[in-house]
Amino acid sequence: MLLAVLQANAAVLDTDANLAAIDDAARRAAAAGAALLLTPELFPVGYAPLRIDAEFDYSALPELRQRLAATARKHGIGLVYSLPARDDSGAHRITATLLDRNGATLLDYGKVHLFGADERKAFSPASEAPAVVDFEGLRASLLICYDVEFPETARAAAVRGAELLLVPTALSAGFDAVPQVLLRARALESQLTVAYANHSGHEDGCDFAGGSVVAGPDGALLAAAGEAPAVLFAEVSGEAARSAREKVPYLRERRPELYAEWEAGAP
């Protein structure tokens, strides 16, 4: 399956401009034969937690979701997008959603690990484990940004059968080791493909690192961006994950009951 990854600069709280950028990327990705487009964290509204907290109208969410679903339908491409959301308790979350080619929702996920004071002021952390769904023959799951920097979250997806981990992110400059080193290790240790879509440029006081990547189950780079806006393409497959897990059975040979004892006995 051909996967597309959008790296771009969002305009904070200019949803029309940001949705137009997603629509254009979806058009280009579909024309290239991609089955799925991954976009960055909070891209439809721009990454600015405190401004979202103060200014974003959560009543606009249904329309935004409808417009994103229409983009998927129009171009016949699956889509991963990330939006702020409000749950039934009234808590504000950072979320990601996977749509199929018809714009139907396959999977929703709430960010578990919030990064920094601004995110913790504007949002509440979710607690649900990453779920796994079938996307055109691939077992796919979602994490968001800082989540993937914890091995436990990627492993939680892997033990549920994930072969492809889709990660919208908003990684600021100065953390280059995350896409260059950590993500390749994460893909290798859980033996799945990790796709990581970041912002580029400057948004509301934050300089973004770019550096979006796709890393295969053997840790190899399948695609990588620099600092500039780009649409990356990579061929991904479930067979690559299954082959890696058969060759070195990390998942089968884990001893989680022992690790739980170790943690319980830690000082």
On whether the pTM is more than 0.95, the answer is: yes
Q: Which domain holds residue 26?
A: 2-264
Q: What is the pLDDT of residue 65?
A: 98
Question: What is the maximum alpha-carbon separation in the chain?
Answer: 56
The residues annotated as belonging to the active site are: 41, 111, 145
Residue 111: pLDDT band (50, 70, 90) is very high
CATH at residue 45:
3.60.110.10
pLDDT tens for 141-163 read 999 999 999 999 999 999 999 99
The least confident of 6-15, 59-68, 197-206, 216-225 is: 197-206
As for how many domains the chain has, the answer is 1
The set of residues, in sequence order, having a beta carbon less than 8 Å from that of 111 and lying 6+ positions away, is 93, 94, 95, 96, 123, 125, 126, 144, 145, 146, 147
Per-residue DSSP letter, 59: G
